A and B are shown apart, each in its own frame.
Chain A
Amino acid sequence: MTKAKKEPEAGGEDRTLEGRLRRLEAILGRLESDEASLEDALQLFQEGVGHVREAEALLARTERTVEELLANGLVEPFAGDED
Protein backbone atom coordinates (compact mmCIF):
# COMPACT_ATOMS: atom_id res chain seq x y z
CA MET A 1 0.00 0.00 0.00
CA THR A 2 3.07 2.25 0.07
CA LYS A 3 2.68 2.82 -3.62
CA ALA A 4 -0.93 3.89 -3.34
CA LYS A 5 0.08 6.42 -0.73
CA LYS A 6 3.02 7.70 -2.68
CA GLU A 7 1.20 8.35 -5.92
CA PRO A 8 -1.19 11.13 -4.82
CA GLU A 9 1.61 12.80 -2.92
CA ALA A 10 3.84 12.96 -5.95
CA GLY A 11 1.14 14.82 -7.81
CA GLY A 12 0.00 16.95 -4.91
CA GLU A 13 3.23 18.34 -3.59
CA ASP A 14 2.37 21.81 -4.94
CA ARG A 15 -0.32 22.84 -2.51
CA THR A 16 -0.95 26.29 -3.94
CA LEU A 17 -4.13 26.98 -5.84
CA GLU A 18 -2.13 27.22 -9.03
CA GLY A 19 -0.44 23.91 -8.31
CA ARG A 20 -3.71 22.15 -7.62
CA LEU A 21 -5.47 23.55 -10.66
CA ARG A 22 -2.53 22.67 -12.88
CA ARG A 23 -2.53 19.15 -11.49
CA LEU A 24 -6.27 18.93 -12.09
CA GLU A 25 -5.76 19.89 -15.70
CA ALA A 26 -3.12 17.24 -16.08
CA ILE A 27 -5.39 14.65 -14.48
CA LEU A 28 -8.28 15.54 -16.76
CA GLY A 29 -5.95 15.50 -19.71
CA ARG A 30 -4.84 11.98 -18.91
CA LEU A 31 -8.30 10.71 -18.08
CA GLU A 32 -9.90 12.23 -21.14
CA SER A 33 -7.19 11.20 -23.54
CA ASP A 34 -7.49 7.62 -22.27
CA GLU A 35 -3.81 7.22 -21.48
CA ALA A 36 -4.35 5.79 -18.07
CA SER A 37 -5.03 2.20 -17.22
CA LEU A 38 -8.24 1.44 -15.34
CA GLU A 39 -6.41 1.22 -12.07
CA ASP A 40 -4.57 4.51 -12.65
CA ALA A 41 -7.76 6.16 -13.84
CA LEU A 42 -9.48 5.36 -10.59
CA GLN A 43 -6.58 6.70 -8.62
CA LEU A 44 -6.39 9.85 -10.75
CA PHE A 45 -10.09 10.39 -10.23
CA GLN A 46 -9.73 10.17 -6.48
CA GLU A 47 -6.74 12.49 -6.48
CA GLY A 48 -8.62 14.96 -8.66
CA VAL A 49 -11.62 15.06 -6.38
CA GLY A 50 -9.27 15.68 -3.45
CA HIS A 51 -7.71 18.67 -5.23
CA VAL A 52 -11.12 20.11 -6.03
CA ARG A 53 -12.11 19.88 -2.39
CA GLU A 54 -8.89 21.48 -1.16
CA ALA A 55 -9.06 24.24 -3.76
CA GLU A 56 -12.63 24.99 -2.79
CA ALA A 57 -11.61 25.31 0.83
CA LEU A 58 -8.82 27.69 -0.19
CA LEU A 59 -11.17 29.81 -2.26
CA ALA A 60 -13.64 29.98 0.59
CA ARG A 61 -11.09 31.88 2.67
CA THR A 62 -12.10 35.49 3.17
CA GLU A 63 -9.24 36.90 5.18
CA ARG A 64 -6.43 38.24 3.08
CA THR A 65 -2.81 38.34 4.13
CA VAL A 66 -1.03 41.62 3.58
CA GLU A 67 2.59 41.89 4.62
CA GLU A 68 5.27 44.44 4.14
CA LEU A 69 8.85 43.73 3.18
CA LEU A 70 10.89 46.14 5.24
CA ALA A 71 14.21 47.71 4.30
CA ASN A 72 16.00 45.38 6.70
CA GLY A 73 14.61 42.38 4.86
CA LEU A 74 12.08 41.46 7.55
CA VAL A 75 8.46 40.83 6.76
CA GLU A 76 5.76 42.33 8.96
CA PRO A 77 2.00 42.70 8.72
CA PHE A 78 1.33 45.69 6.51
CA ALA A 79 0.21 48.76 8.46
CA GLY A 80 -0.07 51.30 5.66
CA ASP A 81 -3.61 50.35 4.74
CA GLU A 82 -5.34 52.03 7.67
CA ASP A 83 -8.55 53.23 6.16
Chain B
Amino acid sequence: MGDEFSLDLFDDVPEAPEDEAVSPEPPVEEPRVWSVSQVNRAVRSLLEQSVDALWVGGEVTNWTRARSGHCYFTLKDDAAQVRCVMWRREAEALPTDPEEGMKVRVFAQITLYEARGDVQLRVDKVEAEGAEGLWRLAFEKLRGRLEAEGLLDPARKRPLPRYPACVGVVTSPTGAAIRDILSVLGRRAPWVRILVRGCRVQGEGAAREIAEALDALAETGTPDVIIVGRGGGSIEDLWAFNEEEVARAVVRCPVPVVSAVGHEVDVTISDLVADLRAPTPSAAAEAVVPDASVVLGQLRELPPRLARALRGTVERRRLALADGLDRLGRGMHRRMDPVRQALDRNVAGTERAVRLLLERRRHTLGALSGRLHAMSPLSTLERGYSVVEDPEGRVLRRVGDFSPGMEVVLRVSDGNVGARVTGPREERR
Protein backbone atom coordinates (compact mmCIF):
# COMPACT_ATOMS: atom_id res chain seq x y z
CA MET B 1 0.00 0.00 0.00
CA GLY B 2 2.12 2.86 -1.37
CA ASP B 3 1.57 6.34 0.03
CA GLU B 4 1.55 8.13 -3.27
CA PHE B 5 -0.97 5.67 -4.60
CA SER B 6 -3.30 6.21 -1.75
CA LEU B 7 -2.98 9.97 -2.01
CA ASP B 8 -3.79 9.91 -5.65
CA LEU B 9 -6.75 7.68 -5.45
CA PHE B 10 -8.52 8.48 -2.20
CA ASP B 11 -8.10 12.17 -1.64
CA ASP B 12 -11.57 13.03 -2.67
CA VAL B 13 -13.76 10.58 -0.84
CA PRO B 14 -17.24 11.07 -2.26
CA GLU B 15 -16.03 10.91 -5.81
CA ALA B 16 -13.71 7.97 -5.34
CA PRO B 17 -16.12 5.06 -5.82
CA GLU B 18 -17.69 6.63 -8.92
CA ASP B 19 -14.33 7.36 -10.51
CA GLU B 20 -13.43 3.76 -10.01
CA ALA B 21 -16.64 2.50 -11.46
CA VAL B 22 -16.30 4.45 -14.67
CA SER B 23 -12.55 4.16 -14.91
CA PRO B 24 -11.45 3.07 -18.31
CA GLU B 25 -8.24 1.44 -17.01
CA PRO B 26 -9.01 -2.14 -16.07
CA PRO B 27 -5.74 -3.96 -16.72
CA VAL B 28 -4.15 -4.03 -13.21
CA GLU B 29 -5.95 -6.38 -10.83
CA GLU B 30 -5.15 -4.37 -7.70
CA PRO B 31 -8.06 -4.18 -5.14
CA ARG B 32 -9.27 -0.68 -4.13
CA VAL B 33 -8.03 0.25 -0.69
CA TRP B 34 -9.81 3.01 1.27
CA SER B 35 -8.26 4.87 4.11
CA VAL B 36 -10.07 4.75 7.46
CA SER B 37 -10.55 8.45 7.31
CA GLN B 38 -12.16 8.20 3.94
CA VAL B 39 -14.49 5.53 5.15
CA ASN B 40 -15.50 7.41 8.24
CA ARG B 41 -15.94 10.63 6.37
CA ALA B 42 -18.09 8.86 3.83
CA VAL B 43 -20.21 7.19 6.49
CA ARG B 44 -20.61 10.43 8.34
CA SER B 45 -21.82 12.35 5.38
CA LEU B 46 -24.08 9.48 4.43
CA LEU B 47 -25.63 9.57 7.90
CA GLU B 48 -26.00 13.31 8.06
CA GLN B 49 -27.51 13.59 4.63
CA SER B 50 -29.92 10.71 4.80
CA VAL B 51 -31.28 11.00 8.35
CA ASP B 52 -33.04 14.13 9.62
CA ALA B 53 -32.58 15.36 13.17
CA LEU B 54 -34.81 13.40 15.53
CA TRP B 55 -35.84 13.01 19.17
CA VAL B 56 -34.05 10.22 21.01
CA GLY B 57 -35.07 9.14 24.50
CA GLY B 58 -32.82 7.56 27.11
CA GLU B 59 -30.97 7.89 30.36
CA VAL B 60 -28.15 10.38 30.76
CA THR B 61 -24.88 9.06 32.08
CA ASN B 62 -21.35 10.49 32.44
CA TRP B 63 -22.38 14.07 31.69
CA THR B 64 -19.32 16.27 31.53
CA ARG B 65 -19.06 19.92 30.67
CA ALA B 66 -15.59 20.61 29.29
CA ARG B 67 -13.60 23.78 29.89
CA SER B 68 -14.48 24.80 26.36
CA GLY B 69 -18.17 24.77 27.31
CA HIS B 70 -18.95 21.75 25.14
CA CYS B 71 -20.83 18.94 26.86
CA TYR B 72 -20.27 15.24 26.41
CA PHE B 73 -22.42 12.42 27.70
CA THR B 74 -23.79 8.99 26.97
CA LEU B 75 -27.42 8.19 26.35
CA LYS B 76 -28.46 4.65 27.10
CA ASP B 77 -31.32 2.30 27.58
CA ASP B 78 -31.37 -1.27 28.91
CA ALA B 79 -29.60 -2.73 25.93
CA ALA B 80 -27.58 -0.07 24.18
CA GLN B 81 -25.80 3.22 24.48
CA VAL B 82 -24.68 6.04 22.26
CA ARG B 83 -22.20 8.85 22.74
CA CYS B 84 -23.55 12.39 22.58
CA VAL B 85 -22.03 15.80 22.18
CA MET B 86 -23.68 19.17 22.77
CA TRP B 87 -21.69 22.14 21.56
CA ARG B 88 -21.25 25.16 23.77
CA ARG B 89 -23.67 27.32 21.82
CA GLU B 90 -26.54 24.93 22.54
CA ALA B 91 -25.32 23.90 25.99
CA GLU B 92 -25.40 27.49 27.21
CA ALA B 93 -29.14 27.61 26.71
CA LEU B 94 -29.62 24.82 29.23
CA PRO B 95 -30.92 26.06 32.60
CA THR B 96 -28.77 23.41 34.24
CA ASP B 97 -26.91 20.19 33.53
CA PRO B 98 -29.02 17.04 33.74
CA GLU B 99 -28.24 14.69 36.57
CA GLU B 100 -26.74 11.23 36.31
CA GLY B 101 -29.37 8.66 35.39
CA MET B 102 -31.91 11.30 34.48
CA LYS B 103 -34.44 10.28 31.87
CA VAL B 104 -34.27 12.78 29.03
CA ARG B 105 -35.06 13.17 25.41
CA VAL B 106 -32.62 14.87 23.10
CA PHE B 107 -33.21 16.47 19.74
CA ALA B 108 -30.17 15.43 17.79
CA GLN B 109 -28.48 14.76 14.48
CA ILE B 110 -27.06 11.29 14.10
CA THR B 111 -23.47 11.55 13.01
CA LEU B 112 -20.17 9.75 13.21
CA TYR B 113 -17.23 10.70 15.36
CA GLU B 114 -14.71 10.17 12.64
CA ALA B 115 -11.64 9.87 14.83
CA ARG B 116 -13.12 6.86 16.61
CA GLY B 117 -15.64 5.65 14.16
CA ASP B 118 -18.30 5.84 16.79
CA VAL B 119 -21.85 6.71 16.07
CA GLN B 120 -22.59 9.92 17.89
CA LEU B 121 -25.56 12.20 18.48
CA ARG B 122 -24.97 15.90 17.99
CA VAL B 123 -27.52 17.28 20.44
CA ASP B 124 -29.38 20.57 20.00
CA LYS B 125 -31.82 20.32 22.90
CA VAL B 126 -32.13 18.32 26.07
CA GLU B 127 -35.46 18.04 27.84
CA ALA B 128 -36.24 16.09 30.95
CA GLU B 129 -39.48 14.78 32.46
CA GLY B 130 -41.66 16.66 30.07
CA ALA B 131 -40.75 20.04 28.64
CA GLU B 132 -40.01 21.71 32.01
CA GLY B 133 -37.96 19.01 33.70
CA LEU B 134 -34.58 20.66 33.45
CA TRP B 135 -36.00 24.06 34.40
CA ARG B 136 -37.54 22.48 37.46
CA LEU B 137 -34.26 20.84 38.27
CA ALA B 138 -32.38 24.13 37.92
CA PHE B 139 -35.03 25.84 40.02
CA GLU B 140 -34.76 23.26 42.79
CA LYS B 141 -30.97 23.36 42.75
CA LEU B 142 -30.86 27.15 43.17
CA ARG B 143 -33.68 27.08 45.69
CA GLY B 144 -31.76 24.50 47.72
CA ARG B 145 -28.63 26.65 47.65
CA LEU B 146 -30.45 29.83 48.67
CA GLU B 147 -32.34 27.98 51.37
CA ALA B 148 -29.08 26.60 52.78
CA GLU B 149 -27.87 30.20 53.03
CA GLY B 150 -31.01 31.08 54.96
CA LEU B 151 -32.18 33.49 52.27
CA LEU B 152 -35.67 31.99 52.14
CA ASP B 153 -36.17 32.32 55.87
CA PRO B 154 -39.52 34.01 56.57
CA ALA B 155 -37.77 35.96 59.33
CA ARG B 156 -35.77 37.76 56.63
CA LYS B 157 -38.89 39.25 55.09
CA ARG B 158 -39.12 42.95 55.75
CA PRO B 159 -42.47 44.62 56.26
CA LEU B 160 -43.53 46.96 53.48
CA PRO B 161 -43.78 50.66 54.26
CA ARG B 162 -47.39 51.54 54.92
CA TYR B 163 -47.39 54.85 53.12
CA PRO B 164 -44.50 54.93 50.64
CA ALA B 165 -43.66 58.29 49.12
CA CYS B 166 -41.95 56.67 46.15
CA VAL B 167 -42.41 53.25 44.53
CA GLY B 168 -39.70 51.85 42.27
CA VAL B 169 -40.64 49.56 39.39
CA VAL B 170 -38.32 47.20 37.54
CA THR B 171 -39.96 45.67 34.47
CA SER B 172 -40.20 45.99 30.72
CA PRO B 173 -41.17 49.60 29.87
CA THR B 174 -43.44 48.33 27.13
CA GLY B 175 -45.07 45.27 28.68
CA ALA B 176 -48.51 44.71 30.11
CA ALA B 177 -47.07 44.66 33.63
CA ILE B 178 -46.02 48.31 33.68
CA ARG B 179 -49.43 49.39 32.38
CA ASP B 180 -51.21 47.42 35.08
CA ILE B 181 -48.91 48.68 37.81
CA LEU B 182 -49.19 52.34 36.81
CA SER B 183 -52.94 52.12 36.51
CA VAL B 184 -53.40 50.58 39.96
CA LEU B 185 -50.94 52.97 41.61
CA GLY B 186 -52.56 55.95 39.95
CA ARG B 187 -56.03 54.91 41.06
CA ARG B 188 -55.16 53.98 44.64
CA ALA B 189 -52.39 56.36 45.53
CA PRO B 190 -51.98 59.29 43.16
CA TRP B 191 -49.76 61.07 45.65
CA VAL B 192 -47.05 58.42 45.29
CA ARG B 193 -44.10 59.16 43.06
CA ILE B 194 -43.30 56.29 40.71
CA LEU B 195 -39.76 55.70 39.51
CA VAL B 196 -39.51 53.17 36.68
CA ARG B 197 -36.32 51.48 35.58
CA GLY B 198 -37.03 49.70 32.34
CA CYS B 199 -35.17 46.55 31.34
CA ARG B 200 -35.58 43.47 29.22
CA VAL B 201 -37.28 40.71 31.16
CA GLN B 202 -36.65 37.75 28.88
CA GLY B 203 -34.01 36.40 26.57
CA GLU B 204 -30.25 36.32 26.72
CA GLY B 205 -28.86 38.70 29.36
CA ALA B 206 -32.26 39.61 30.82
CA ALA B 207 -31.30 38.38 34.29
CA ARG B 208 -28.31 40.70 34.35
CA GLU B 209 -30.41 43.65 33.21
CA ILE B 210 -33.01 43.01 35.90
CA ALA B 211 -30.32 42.77 38.55
CA GLU B 212 -28.67 45.97 37.35
CA ALA B 213 -32.00 47.77 37.25
CA LEU B 214 -32.69 46.80 40.86
CA ASP B 215 -29.24 47.98 41.90
CA ALA B 216 -29.64 51.25 40.00
CA LEU B 217 -32.99 52.05 41.60
CA ALA B 218 -31.68 51.17 45.04
CA GLU B 219 -28.68 53.38 44.48
CA THR B 220 -30.82 56.48 43.96
CA GLY B 221 -32.06 56.01 47.54
CA THR B 222 -35.43 57.30 46.43
CA PRO B 223 -37.88 54.38 46.39
CA ASP B 224 -39.30 53.17 49.70
CA VAL B 225 -40.26 49.87 48.08
CA ILE B 226 -39.56 48.25 44.71
CA ILE B 227 -41.76 46.10 42.50
CA VAL B 228 -39.92 43.70 40.20
CA GLY B 229 -41.78 41.54 37.74
CA ARG B 230 -43.37 40.93 34.41
CA GLY B 231 -46.57 39.58 32.88
CA GLY B 232 -47.26 35.96 32.09
CA GLY B 233 -45.33 33.76 29.69
CA SER B 234 -43.82 30.34 29.22
CA ILE B 235 -41.39 28.98 31.76
CA GLU B 236 -38.58 29.98 29.40
CA ASP B 237 -39.97 33.52 29.17
CA LEU B 238 -40.04 33.80 32.94
CA TRP B 239 -36.69 32.15 33.37
CA ALA B 240 -34.65 35.27 34.07
CA PHE B 241 -36.51 35.57 37.38
CA ASN B 242 -35.23 32.12 38.32
CA GLU B 243 -31.62 33.04 37.91
CA GLU B 244 -29.20 33.56 40.71
CA GLU B 245 -28.19 37.04 39.56
CA VAL B 246 -31.72 38.32 40.05
CA ALA B 247 -32.10 36.49 43.35
CA ARG B 248 -28.90 38.07 44.68
CA ALA B 249 -29.97 41.54 43.58
CA VAL B 250 -33.31 41.12 45.35
CA VAL B 251 -31.55 39.91 48.48
CA ARG B 252 -29.12 42.84 48.62
CA CYS B 253 -31.75 45.48 47.86
CA PRO B 254 -31.81 47.89 50.82
CA VAL B 255 -35.57 48.48 50.60
CA PRO B 256 -38.32 45.87 50.56
CA VAL B 257 -38.90 44.15 47.22
CA VAL B 258 -42.23 42.84 45.95
CA SER B 259 -41.87 40.22 43.25
CA ALA B 260 -44.67 39.66 40.78
CA VAL B 261 -43.81 37.33 37.93
CA GLY B 262 -46.33 35.91 35.52
CA HIS B 263 -49.62 34.62 36.76
CA GLU B 264 -50.83 33.30 40.05
CA VAL B 265 -49.49 29.78 39.40
CA ASP B 266 -45.98 30.83 38.47
CA VAL B 267 -43.58 30.83 41.38
CA THR B 268 -40.05 32.00 40.70
CA ILE B 269 -36.89 32.19 42.74
CA SER B 270 -37.32 35.96 42.70
CA ASP B 271 -40.72 35.47 44.39
CA LEU B 272 -39.14 33.27 47.04
CA VAL B 273 -36.39 35.66 48.08
CA ALA B 274 -38.51 38.81 47.80
CA ASP B 275 -40.04 40.37 50.90
CA LEU B 276 -43.45 39.78 49.41
CA ARG B 277 -44.64 37.64 46.52
CA ALA B 278 -47.58 39.08 44.64
CA PRO B 279 -49.50 36.78 42.30
CA THR B 280 -49.62 39.40 39.53
CA PRO B 281 -48.13 42.84 38.81
CA SER B 282 -51.50 44.47 39.58
CA ALA B 283 -51.61 42.69 42.92
CA ALA B 284 -48.08 43.92 43.64
CA ALA B 285 -49.20 47.50 43.02
CA GLU B 286 -52.13 47.01 45.36
CA ALA B 287 -49.87 45.57 48.01
CA VAL B 288 -47.41 48.46 48.08
CA VAL B 289 -49.82 51.38 48.48
CA PRO B 290 -52.89 51.92 50.61
CA ASP B 291 -56.13 52.96 48.99
CA ALA B 292 -56.56 56.74 49.07
CA SER B 293 -60.22 56.54 50.10
CA VAL B 294 -59.39 54.25 53.01
CA VAL B 295 -56.61 56.51 54.22
CA LEU B 296 -58.85 59.53 53.83
CA GLY B 297 -61.53 57.78 55.91
CA GLN B 298 -59.03 57.01 58.64
CA LEU B 299 -57.70 60.53 58.48
CA ARG B 300 -61.16 62.02 59.00
CA GLU B 301 -61.50 60.10 62.24
CA LEU B 302 -58.43 61.73 63.62
CA PRO B 303 -59.56 65.29 64.48
CA PRO B 304 -62.41 64.09 66.74
CA ARG B 305 -60.06 61.60 68.29
CA LEU B 306 -57.49 64.32 68.87
CA ALA B 307 -60.17 66.52 70.40
CA ARG B 308 -61.35 63.67 72.62
CA ALA B 309 -57.82 63.03 73.72
CA LEU B 310 -57.29 66.69 74.51
CA ARG B 311 -60.59 66.90 76.43
CA GLY B 312 -59.58 63.75 78.22
CA THR B 313 -56.30 65.30 79.21
CA VAL B 314 -58.04 68.40 80.55
CA GLU B 315 -60.71 66.36 82.32
CA ARG B 316 -58.13 64.12 83.92
CA ARG B 317 -56.26 67.18 85.14
CA ARG B 318 -59.49 68.59 86.58
CA LEU B 319 -60.34 65.34 88.29
CA ALA B 320 -56.85 65.06 89.61
CA LEU B 321 -57.14 68.55 91.03
CA ALA B 322 -60.51 67.82 92.65
CA ASP B 323 -59.16 64.62 94.01
CA GLY B 324 -56.13 66.43 95.32
CA LEU B 325 -58.28 68.96 97.12
CA ASP B 326 -60.38 66.20 98.53
CA ARG B 327 -57.42 64.32 99.80
CA LEU B 328 -55.94 67.47 101.20
CA GLY B 329 -59.16 68.04 103.13
CA ARG B 330 -59.23 64.50 104.37
CA GLY B 331 -55.61 64.75 105.30
CA MET B 332 -56.20 67.87 107.32
CA HIS B 333 -59.05 66.20 109.14
CA ARG B 334 -56.94 63.22 109.87
CA ARG B 335 -54.31 65.41 111.33
CA MET B 336 -56.72 67.64 113.25
CA ASP B 337 -58.87 64.95 114.80
CA PRO B 338 -56.39 63.68 117.35
CA VAL B 339 -55.57 67.23 118.32
CA ARG B 340 -59.21 68.02 118.84
CA GLN B 341 -59.75 64.85 120.80
CA ALA B 342 -56.78 65.62 122.95
CA LEU B 343 -58.10 69.10 123.41
CA ASP B 344 -61.53 67.81 124.39
CA ARG B 345 -59.96 65.40 126.76
CA ASN B 346 -57.90 68.19 128.26
CA VAL B 347 -60.85 70.47 128.67
CA ALA B 348 -62.79 67.83 130.57
CA GLY B 349 -59.76 67.14 132.72
CA THR B 350 -59.26 70.77 133.41
CA GLU B 351 -62.85 71.22 134.45
CA ARG B 352 -62.61 68.29 136.75
CA ALA B 353 -59.38 69.59 138.17
CA VAL B 354 -60.80 73.03 138.69
CA ARG B 355 -63.87 71.61 140.36
CA LEU B 356 -61.68 69.50 142.59
CA LEU B 357 -59.52 72.44 143.37
CA LEU B 358 -62.47 74.60 144.17
CA GLU B 359 -63.92 71.96 146.41
CA ARG B 360 -60.66 71.55 148.17
CA ARG B 361 -60.46 75.29 148.61
CA ARG B 362 -63.94 75.43 149.94
CA HIS B 363 -63.09 72.74 152.37
CA THR B 364 -60.00 74.50 153.51
CA LEU B 365 -61.95 77.72 153.79
CA GLY B 366 -64.52 76.04 156.04
CA ALA B 367 -61.83 74.73 158.28
CA LEU B 368 -60.11 78.08 158.40
CA SER B 369 -63.28 79.98 159.15
CA GLY B 370 -63.90 77.61 162.08
CA ARG B 371 -60.54 78.39 163.45
CA LEU B 372 -60.96 82.08 162.75
CA HIS B 373 -64.23 81.94 164.52
CA ALA B 374 -62.59 80.43 167.56
CA MET B 375 -60.04 83.17 167.62
CA SER B 376 -62.54 86.00 167.15
CA PRO B 377 -62.89 88.52 170.11
CA LEU B 378 -66.61 88.15 169.67
CA SER B 379 -66.44 84.66 170.95
CA THR B 380 -64.53 85.93 173.98
CA LEU B 381 -67.32 88.40 174.58
CA GLU B 382 -69.78 85.57 174.34
CA ARG B 383 -68.03 83.90 177.14
CA GLY B 384 -68.97 86.95 179.31
CA TYR B 385 -66.12 89.32 178.81
CA SER B 386 -66.65 92.88 177.66
CA VAL B 387 -64.34 95.47 176.11
CA VAL B 388 -64.34 99.01 177.44
CA GLU B 389 -63.68 101.80 175.04
CA ASP B 390 -63.60 105.55 175.47
CA PRO B 391 -65.94 107.66 173.35
CA GLU B 392 -63.23 107.81 170.67
CA GLY B 393 -63.14 104.05 170.47
CA ARG B 394 -59.85 103.54 172.21
CA VAL B 395 -59.74 100.35 174.26
CA LEU B 396 -59.23 101.11 177.95
CA ARG B 397 -56.97 98.41 179.41
CA ARG B 398 -55.53 99.79 182.66
CA VAL B 399 -56.84 101.48 185.77
CA GLY B 400 -54.96 104.55 184.80
CA ASP B 401 -56.95 104.77 181.61
CA PHE B 402 -60.03 105.53 183.65
CA SER B 403 -61.02 108.72 185.50
CA PRO B 404 -64.12 109.21 187.74
CA GLY B 405 -67.18 110.46 185.87
CA MET B 406 -65.78 109.42 182.53
CA GLU B 407 -68.29 108.24 179.95
CA VAL B 408 -67.26 104.85 178.48
CA VAL B 409 -68.73 102.29 176.16
CA LEU B 410 -68.99 98.65 177.14
CA ARG B 411 -68.89 96.25 174.23
CA VAL B 412 -70.73 93.03 175.01
CA SER B 413 -71.49 90.06 172.88
CA ASP B 414 -74.66 91.42 171.30
CA GLY B 415 -74.11 95.18 171.42
CA ASN B 416 -72.79 98.27 173.23
CA VAL B 417 -73.74 99.73 176.59
CA GLY B 418 -73.01 103.30 177.77
CA ALA B 419 -71.59 103.60 181.39
CA ARG B 420 -69.91 106.07 183.76
CA VAL B 421 -66.84 105.55 185.85
CA THR B 422 -67.56 105.96 189.59
CA GLY B 423 -64.05 105.73 191.00
CA PRO B 424 -61.01 103.50 191.00
CA ARG B 425 -60.95 100.22 192.82
CA GLU B 426 -57.29 99.60 193.73
CA GLU B 427 -57.49 96.11 195.00
CA ARG B 428 -58.13 93.19 192.73
CA ARG B 429 -59.99 90.41 194.38
Q: Which residues of B contact A75 (CB under 8 A)?
A: 195, 220
- Min Cβ gap B184→A in Å is 11
Residue of B nearest to A24 (CB): B302
Give the complex CA separation of A28 and B306 in angstroms: 7
Chain B residues within 8 Å of chain A by Cβ, number: 42
Judge if B355 is at the interface, Cβ distance under 8 Å.
no
Q: Which residues of B contact A61 (CB under 8 A)?
A: 190-191
Number of A-B contacts (CB under 8 A): 114
A69's partner among B220, B292, B295 (CB-CB below 8 A) is: B220
Instruction: Mark the stretch among B162-170, B393-401, B404-412, B420-428 that contacts chain A.
Output: B162-170
A34 with B313: CB separation less than 8 A: yes
Q: Which residues of A contact B217 (CB under 8 A)?
A: 69
Residue of B nearest to A83 (CB): B179
Judge if A10 is at the interface, Cβ distance under 8 Å.
no
B295 with A59: CB separation less than 8 A: yes
- Min Cβ gap B160→A in Å is 11
Residue of B nearest to A25 (CB): B302
Judge if B279 is at the interface, Cβ distance under 8 Å.
no
Give the complex CA separation of A38 and B198 in angstroms: 54
- Min Cβ gap B171→A in Å is 10
Q: Which residues of B contact A73 (CB under 8 A)?
A: 216
Judge if B196 is at the interface, Cβ distance under 8 Å.
yes
B191 with A59: CB separation less than 8 A: yes
Give the complex CA separation of A58 and B122 in angstroms: 65
- Min Cβ gap A67→B in Å is 5
A18's partner among B163, B195, B296, B309 (CB-CB below 8 A) is: B163
Q: Which residues of B contact A18 (CB under 8 A)?
A: 161-165, 224
B310's partner among A42, A52, A62, A67 (CB-CB below 8 A) is: A42
* A68-B197 CB under 8 A given contacts A17-B163, A31-B313: yes
Judge if A6 is at the interface, Cβ distance under 8 Å.
no
Q: Which residues of B contact A16 (CB under 8 A)?
A: 163, 165
Judge if B356 is at the interface, Cβ distance under 8 Å.
no
A:52-69 near B, CB below 8 Å: 52, 55-56, 58-59, 61-69
- B interface footprint on A28-39 (CB within 8 Å = 1, 0 otherwise): 100110101010
* A64-B310 CB under 8 A given contacts A16-B163, A28-B305: no
B303 with A52: CB separation less than 8 A: yes
Q: Which residues of B contact A59 (CB under 8 A)?
A: 191, 292, 295-296, 299
Give the complex CA separation of A61 and B299 in angstroms: 15
A31 with B309: CB separation less than 8 A: yes
A81 with B178: CB separation less than 8 A: yes
* A65-B193 CB under 8 A given contacts A18-B162, A52-B299, A59-B299: yes
- Min Cβ gap B295→A in Å is 6
- A interface footprint on B296-314 (CB within 8 Å = 1, 0 otherwise): 1001101101110110111
A28 with B190: CB separation less than 8 A: no
Judge if B173 is at the interface, Cβ distance under 8 Å.
yes
Residue of A nearest to B186 (CB): A64
B198 with A80: CB separation less than 8 A: yes
Residue of B nearest to A63 (CB): B190
Judge if B174 is at the interface, Cβ distance under 8 Å.
yes
Give the complex CA separation of A76 and B164 in angstroms: 20
Judge if B119 is at the interface, Cβ distance under 8 Å.
no
Give the complex CA separation of A30 and B195 in angstroms: 36
A49 with B303: CB separation less than 8 A: yes
- Min Cβ gap B380→A in Å is 95
Give the complex CA separation of A38 and B303 in angstroms: 18
- Min Cβ gap A37→B in Å is 9
Judge if B352 is at the interface, Cβ distance under 8 Å.
no
Judge if B192 is at the interface, Cβ distance under 8 Å.
yes
* A31-B296 CB under 8 A given contacts A18-B161, A64-B185, A78-B194: no
Q: Which residues of A contact B185 (CB under 8 A)?
A: 64
B182 with A66: CB separation less than 8 A: yes
B313's partner among A36, A49, A71, A81 (CB-CB below 8 A) is: A36
A38's partner among B197, B224, B313 (CB-CB below 8 A) is: B313
List of 5 A-B pairs having minimum Cβ-Cβ separation, nearest first:
A80-B173, A31-B309, A18-B163, A16-B165, A41-B313
Q: Name A residues whose Cβ lies closer than 8 Å to a Cβ of B.
A: 16-18, 21, 24, 27-28, 31-32, 34, 36, 38, 41-42, 44-45, 48-49, 52, 55-56, 58-59, 61-69, 71, 73, 75, 78, 80-81, 83
Q: Name B residues whose Cβ lies closer than 8 Å to a Cβ of A.
A: 161-165, 173-174, 178-179, 182, 185-186, 190-198, 216-217, 220, 224, 292, 295-296, 299-300, 302-303, 305-307, 309-310, 312-314, 316-317
List, sorted by A's number, 14 A–B pairs whose CB atoms are closer than 8 Å: A28-B309, A41-B310, A41-B313, A41-B314, A45-B310, A49-B306, A64-B185, A64-B190, A64-B191, A65-B194, A66-B194, A67-B194, A67-B195, A68-B195
